């Protein structure tokens, strides 16, 4: 593997380089930018947009902001005070600095029957949004859950891939903050695993006998989710992805202790462990693509296999998994992304105050100019 | 991959990969329910809270498991035992299964159809199209196993006749063999599933109508193998029906119940899927349909025996080289520290009783307690029981007519029933922290007839046993038993964890929590009175059946009714197994619906675990409990006279 993979050459900027890139890029000519973001309780909600839209540059600016609504019932619409604060901050910032108002899109995350419908609704929203005329589309996933941003990016990338040159540029922006991430608690998880819309492995008679290979990207506080997926999938092989190198050097070791049931299982094959740089989604993409290819080729003799990725780790690593999924799916491999939805989240106020400014902004350019498209 | 080494945490047997392991862990007592309900030519609807044992029961009837049981009936004890019962039920004979069962398990894939951009009719067509496909494939698969055919290669050996039935879609009418049907179903399944996961659904893939034709077409009379009609009865088991959307579920159930398809159909679902009406409805049985509530079935039978069998099978999976059972690990001998408390407690209670009841009337009773006891605990319980009885006697209205006649020892024996002794133990637990919640019987009762709840409590205890087993490897005479103190510690911790989990699992938890807290406090206030008048204690309330009918037919139909919140709370509590209930209980000339607090939460309020006594309350008294937690008018008072 290696030659011929889509993102063999890639474009990623972080920290100080993030601002430098956007400053140079926006100054380089007319750019019509559409910024798609979520307004959540996460203190990182407005960090990306305020950095990029404050930079001078010619061209139109638009902000599409997802408002998360738990149920389609008027009486239950009592927004979180942090969401109200972030909304007010965004509106004020856009009015004062850019001279525009955000375009709100309501995203209903749960059905009347309390089932998660965020992923299907997220792709529906983008379907009904006119993005013509924009040279650059930025999806800021800092305040979006996986169930929301995965179908959104999938849909957007599929649409752009169908365009003829010059294609729109698609950028993913994420504010990473490991301390803050580990402080966000899941308040209850669903009893079943689910595949976000577009990421399902078809459970059909033709492939029923195919073995399942599971590639979970491990992270802290996700043991319940790990167990639920493992129990439902009953994979024949598990290839856990551990973060190495990572900012905290012992993070991978700690995760081995945390998921001791997996690593102490006599059936577990230590050679299956994949070590990936937690800050480089393109490396994760390359490693996962290679693993998927190897299993796909090996199991071809037996008919085939189903490969399931699970992102129990950071959003940055999730982007790497998405790219591996997207490319493998295009090559007609049976691949999906399974996860377990959290019912709600909680972030301690003290932690919010102490850590909200310590994040690092990442920019991942998925398609467009640098790829000669 | 194995999920762990504690077999109690193999949540339900359905998750255990191999059929052999599944059979080893399967406890056949559940099969006796088919002595009350028929297996074939009926619609059986199994309902329970999560972990009630529905899927485990259904899995037993799947062809691979039945074949495994038949194959090993002679030399494997588990298979032999299950085979004997299945043979009596005409599910198998000595050589072959007499039923070919298909298990179709619903998941969120089906309910997600509701959110695809299609109109209601298209959604319904899509749902039944997918369901028919899955039923057809599943029946063909089961028959292949029953007939020892390679699947799907040998399906041409199966013939399906009379395909021109009224509800059969046009394109299916031309299909003749199992192979034809498999090819049709599997390619349609592939294209439908692909569209379902796409960003824009292409409706041209939709085939068929909104009928469940598969349950009519694949009946025994239409199926031929080697030119002869097949011998096996066809059974279709639809599991996890609660995972369907409300409209899919009600539509499907109506179709099955009203049409009474020729193929025997079973449905398994959780109580949470039921409408509020259905929850308060109770059991429905008839010639063509049986609704079986598993927890209620067990509450009327010996759940403890069933639980013992379940536990022993799991213990055997770990201690396979030794003859042992789960109960043998549960010690009833207190630790030394507790024995010190008990000894001083006995002295204290004895002195208290002698001081309080120095009246000559009680002389004989007091003297009878001065006997030798086998141990201090028996003595303590005996003195505490006497204190309760003497308090009762003192409170009697006849006191005014009392001429100081001495009470005979025989009268004491009559009054000292198990209930009073149990109340005394409960009081000692409250006063001196002497363990009360321990032993197999307690663990079984704490499960509220739910097998998963049982496994979860027993599994926590078994974790300790497993740790001790490791030590035993180093020290041969290491004691593996768990003390009553430790058992209680594990149980209390588990109760707290389970309560905490409710906040995340149960909708509208604030009002539910208020109601349960009120119920717990109310029961506690009624239990802890010096004369233990309600011995062994109160752990439930009752409403009249006419009040229940009023809730069901009037209140639940009107969102604005002042009792609506209470009715909704009651229904949620039942559907999440937070309260157990008994319908049509006759008491004091009234017919009642008795609502018992789930035994796991009785621990939180130090309440007894037996089906204790209850108090009848009016709806208007109970309704405020959802808004404001009940506060007893008096504090707990265990020995002071009022």
Structure confidence by residue, pLDDT tens digits, B328-341: 999 999 999 999 99
Give chain A positions within 8 Å (CB) of B106.
none
Burial of B559 (0-12, 13-18, 19+ CB in 10 A): exposed
Across chain A, mean pLDDT equals 90
Cα B220 to Cα B234: distance, rounded to the nearest angstrom = 6
- Give pLDDT, residue A2: 44
Interface test with B, best of A73, A205, A237 (most B CBs within 10 A): A205
Q: What are B494-533's pLDDT values in tens digits?
A: 999 988 888 877 877 888 999 999 999 999 988 888 888 8
Q: Residue B472: its pLDDT value, please?
A: 80
Per residue in A15-60, pLDDT (tens digit) is 999 999 999 999 999 999 999 999 988 889 999 999 999 999 999 9
Distance to chain B for A267, nearest Cα, Å: 6
Of A191, A233, A222, A114, the closest CA to residue B50 belongs to A191
**Percent of chain B topping pLDDT 90:** 48
User: How close is the nearest chain A Cα to the Cα of B104, in Å?
Assistant: 12
Would you state the pLDDT for residue B500? Answer: 87
- Judge whether B267 is closer than 8 Å to chain A, CB to CB: no
Q: Is residue A23 part of a domain?
A: yes
Confidence at residue B576, expressed as pLDDT on a 0 to 100 scale: 87
Q: A13 vs A176, A266, A282, CA distance in Å? A: 12, 41, 12
- Contact call for B193 and A123, based on CB within 8 A: no
Q: What is the value of pTM for the model shown?
A: 0.86
Inter-chain contact A200–B109, Cβ cutoff 8 Å? yes
Residues A49, A85: one domain?
yes
Nearest Cβ partner for A188 among B2, B108, B505 = B505
Residue B637 pLDDT greater than 70, yes or no:
no
* Chain centroid, CA A1 distance in Å: 25
Distances (CA, A) of A325 to A162, A334, B544, B587: 18, 9, 59, 65
Per-residue pLDDT reduced to its tens digit, B222-271: 999 988 999 999 999 999 999 999 999 999 999 998 888 889 999 999 98
What is the extent of the structural domain holding A22? 11-180+349-371
Question: Contact B108/A192, CB-based, under 8 Å?
Answer: yes
Which CATH number belongs to the domain containing residue A91 in this structure?
3.40.50
Tokens of residue A146, six digits:
């996986």
A→B contacts (Cβ < 8 Å), by residue, are 111, 113-115, 117, 120-121, 123-124, 127, 155, 158, 187-188, 191-192, 194-195, 197-200, 202-206, 227, 230-231, 234-236, 238, 261, 265-268, 343-344
Q: Does B107 lie at the interface with A, CB-CB under 8 angstroms? A: yes
Claim to verify: residue A196 and residue A336 sit in the same structural domain: yes
Closest CA relative to residue A362, chosen from A103, A58, A117, A14: A14
B45: number of CA atoms within 13 Å, CB side?
25
Instruction: Say yes or no: A116 and A29 in one domain.
Output: yes
What region, left, alpha or beta, does residue B240 occupy, with left being phi > 0 and alpha being psi -120 to 50 degrees?
left
Partners of residue A342 on adjacent β-strands:
A189
The CA angle A325-A330-A332, to the nearest 5 degrees, is: 95
A237 lies in the same domain as A324: yes
Judged by CB atoms closer than 8 Å, whether chains meet at A115 and B111 is answered as: yes
- Are A161 and A226 within one domain? no
How far B162 CA lies from chain A's nearest CA (Å)? 25
- pLDDT over 90 percentage in chain A: 64
* Token pair in block for residue B406: 């001495």
Q: Which two tokens stand for residue B181?
A: 């049907």
- Between CA B124 and CA B114 the distance in angstroms is 9
Q: Do B3 and A200 touch (CB under 8 A)?
A: no
Claim to verify: residue A115 and residue A144 sit in the same structural domain: yes
* A3 found inside a domain: no
Cα–Cα distance, B500 to B495 (Å, whole number): 9
Kindly state whether residues A167 and A203 are assigned to the same domain: no
Q: Length of chain A, please?
A: 373
- Give bridge partners of residue A337 from the DSSP assignment: A309
User: Which residues are paired to B615 by β-bridges?
Assistant: B541
Residue A191 pLDDT exceeds 90: no
pLDDT at A270 over 70: yes
Per-residue pLDDT band for B4 (boundaries 50, 70, 90) equals very low
- Report angle CA B517, B519, B525 to the nearest 5 degrees: 100
Q: Are residues A354 and A336 in the same domain?
A: no
Q: How far apart are CA A124 and CA B376, in angstroms?
A: 72
- Do A34 and A167 reside in the same domain of the chain? yes
What is the rounded CA–CA span in Å between residue A158 and residue A114? 30
A54 and A126 both lie in a single domain: yes
Sign of the Cα torsion B481, B483, B486, B488 reads positive
Per the prediction, chain B carries an average pLDDT of 86
Beta bridge partners of A39: A67
Q: What is the ipTM of this complex?
A: 0.86
Say whether both A155 and A22 belong to one domain: yes
Residues A286 and A221 in one domain: yes
* Position A2 in a domain: no
The residue among A108, A128, A143, A135 whose CA lies nearest residue B199 is A128
B90: which 2 tokens?
């005409």
Classify B620 as helix, strand or coil: helix
Query: Is position A363 within any domain?
Result: yes
User: Going by C-beta distance under 8 Å and a sequence separation of 6 or more, which residues neighbour residue A306?
Assistant: A201, A207, A210, A211, A212, A213, A334, A335, A336
Total residue count of chain B as it appears in this document: 642
Nearest CA in chain B to A336: B197
**A220 assigned to some structural domain:** yes
Cα B517 vs. chain centroid, distance in angstroms? Answer: 22
pLDDT score for B141: 95
Show the tokens assigned to A270: 């230590």
Q: Which residue has the higher pLDDT, B383 or B394?
A: B383
The answer, yes or no, to whether residue B171 has pLDDT greater than 60, is: yes
Domain contains A6? no
Among B629, B621, B565, B575, which residue's Cα sits nearest to residue B598? B575
Q: Domain count of chain A?
A: 2
Listed residue (A28, A90, A43, A29) closest to A63, CA to CA:
A90
């Amino acid at each position: 593997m290696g030659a011929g993979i889509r993102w063999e050459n890639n474009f990623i900027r972080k920290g100080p380089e993030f601002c430098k890139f956007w400053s140079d890029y926006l100054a380089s000519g007319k750019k019509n930018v559409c910024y798609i973001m979520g307004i959540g309780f996460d203190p990182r909600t407005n960090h990306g947009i305020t950095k990029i839209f404050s930079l001078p540059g010619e061209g139109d600016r638009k902000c599409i902001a997802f408002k998360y609504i738990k149920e389609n019932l008027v009486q239950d619409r009592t927004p979180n005070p942090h969401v109200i604060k972030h909304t007010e901050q965004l509106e004020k910032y856009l009015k004062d600095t850019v001279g525009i108002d955000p375009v709100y899109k309501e995203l209903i995350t749960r059905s009347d029957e309390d089932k998660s419908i965020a992923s299907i609704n997220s792709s529906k929203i983008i379907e009904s949004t006119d993005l013509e005329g924009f040279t650059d589309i930025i999806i800021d996933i800092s305040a979006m859950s996986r169930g929301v941003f995965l179908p959104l990016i999938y849909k957007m990338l599929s649409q752009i891939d169908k365009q003829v040159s010059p294609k729109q540029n698609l950028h993913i922006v994420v504010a990473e903050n490991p301390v803050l991430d580990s402080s966000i608690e899941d308040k209850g998880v669903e009893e079943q695993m689910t595949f976000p819309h577009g990421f399902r492995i078809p459970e059909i008679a033709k492939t029923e006998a195919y073995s399942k290979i599971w590639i979970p990207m491990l992270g802290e506080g996700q043991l319940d989710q790990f167990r639920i997926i493992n129990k439902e999938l009953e994979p024949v092989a598990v290839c856990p992805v551990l973060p190495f190198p990572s900012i905290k050097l012992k993070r991978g070791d700690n995760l081995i202790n945390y998921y001791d049931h997996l690593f102490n299982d006599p059936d577990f094959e230590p050679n299956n462990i994949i070590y990936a740089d937690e800050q480089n989604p393109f490396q994760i993409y390359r490693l996962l693509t290679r693993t998927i290819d190897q299993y796909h080729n090996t199991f071809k003799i037996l008919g085939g296999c189903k490969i399931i990725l699970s992102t129990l780790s950071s959003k940055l690593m999730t982007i790497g998994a998405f790219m591996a999924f997207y490319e493998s799916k295009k090559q007609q491999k049976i691949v999906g992304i399974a996860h377990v939805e959290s019912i709600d989240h909680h972030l301690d106020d003290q932690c919010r105050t102490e850590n909200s400014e310590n994040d690092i902004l990442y920019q991942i350019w998925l398609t467009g100019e640098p790829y000669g498209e | 991959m194995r999920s762990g080494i504690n077999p109690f945490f193999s949540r339900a047997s359905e998750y255990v990969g191999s059929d052999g392991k599944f059979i080893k862990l399967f406890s056949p007592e559940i099969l006796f329910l088919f002595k009350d309900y028929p297996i074939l030519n009926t619609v059986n609807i199994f309902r329970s809270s999560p972990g009630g044992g529905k899927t485990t029961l259904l899995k037993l009837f799947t062809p691979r498991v039945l074949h495994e049981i038949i194959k090993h009936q002679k030399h494997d004890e588990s298979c032999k035992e299950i085979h004997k019962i299945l043979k009596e039920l005409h599910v198998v004979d000595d050589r072959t299964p007499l039923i070919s069962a298909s298990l179709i398990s619903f998941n969120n894939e089906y309910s997600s159809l509701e959110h695809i951009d299609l109109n209601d009719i298209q959604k319904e067509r899509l749902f039944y199209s997918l369901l028919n496909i899955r039923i057809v494939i599943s029946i063909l698969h089961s028959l292949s196993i029953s007939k020892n055919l390679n699947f799907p290669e040998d399906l041409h050996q199966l013939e399906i006749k009379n395909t021109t039935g009224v509800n059969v879609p046009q394109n299916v009418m031309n299909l003749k063999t199992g192979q034809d049907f498999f090819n049709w179903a599997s390619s349609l399944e592939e294209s439908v599933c692909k569209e379902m996961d796409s960003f824009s659904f292409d409706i041209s893939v939709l085939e068929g109508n909104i009928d469940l034709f598969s349950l009519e077409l694949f009946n025994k009379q239409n199926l031929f193998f080697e030119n002869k009609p097949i011998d096996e009865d066809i059974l279709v088991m639809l599991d996890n029906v609660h995972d369907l959307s409300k409209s899919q579920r009600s539509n499907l159930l109506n179709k099955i119940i009203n049409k009474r398809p020729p193929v025997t159909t079973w449905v398994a679902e959780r109580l949470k899927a039921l409408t509020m009406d259905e929850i308060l409805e109770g059991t429905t049985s008839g010639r063509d349909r049986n609704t079986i509530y598993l927890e209620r079935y067990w509450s009327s039978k010996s759940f403890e025996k069933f639980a013992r069998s379940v536990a022993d099978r799991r213990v055997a999976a770990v201690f396979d080289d030794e003859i042992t059972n789960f109960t043998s690990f549960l010690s009833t001998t207190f630790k030394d520290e507790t024995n010190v408390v008990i000894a001083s407690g006995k002295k204290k209670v004895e002195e208290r009783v002698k001081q309080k009841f120095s009246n000559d009337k009680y002389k004989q009773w007091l003297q009878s307690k001065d006997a030798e006891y086998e141990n201090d605990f028996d003595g303590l319980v005996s003195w505490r029981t006497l204190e309760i009885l003497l308090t009762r006697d003192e409170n009697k209205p006849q006191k005014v007519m009392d001429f100081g006649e001495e009470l005979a020892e025989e009268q004491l024996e009559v009054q000292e029933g198990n209930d009073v002794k149990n109340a005394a133990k409960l009081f000692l637990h409250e006063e001196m922290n002497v363990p009360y919640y321990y032993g197999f019987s307690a663990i079984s009762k704490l499960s509220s007839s739910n097998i998963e709840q049982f496994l979860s409590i027993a599994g926590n205890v078994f974790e300790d046993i497993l740790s001790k087993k490791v030590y035993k490897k180093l020290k041969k005479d290491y004691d593996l038993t768990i003390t009553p103190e430790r058992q209680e510690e594990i149980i209390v911790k588990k109760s707290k964890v389970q309560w905490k989990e409710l906040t995340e699992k149960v909708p509208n938890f604030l009002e539910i929590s208020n109601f349960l807290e009120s119920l717990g406090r109310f029961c506690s206030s009624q239990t802890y009175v010096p004369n233990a008048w309600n011995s062994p204690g109160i752990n439930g309330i009752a409403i009249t059946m006419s009040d229940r009918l009023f809730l069901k037919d009037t209140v639940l139909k009107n969102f604005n009714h002042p009792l609506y919140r209470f009715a909704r709370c009651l229904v949620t509590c039942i559907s999440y197994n937070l309260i157990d209930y008994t319908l049509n209980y006759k008491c004091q000339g009234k017919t009642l619906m008795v609502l018992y607090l789930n035994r796991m939460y009785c621990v939180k309020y130090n309440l007894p675990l037996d089906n204790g006594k209850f108090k009848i309350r009016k709806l208007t008294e109970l309704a405020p409990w959802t808004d404001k937690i009940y506060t007893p008018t008096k504090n707990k008072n265990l020995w002071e006279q009022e």
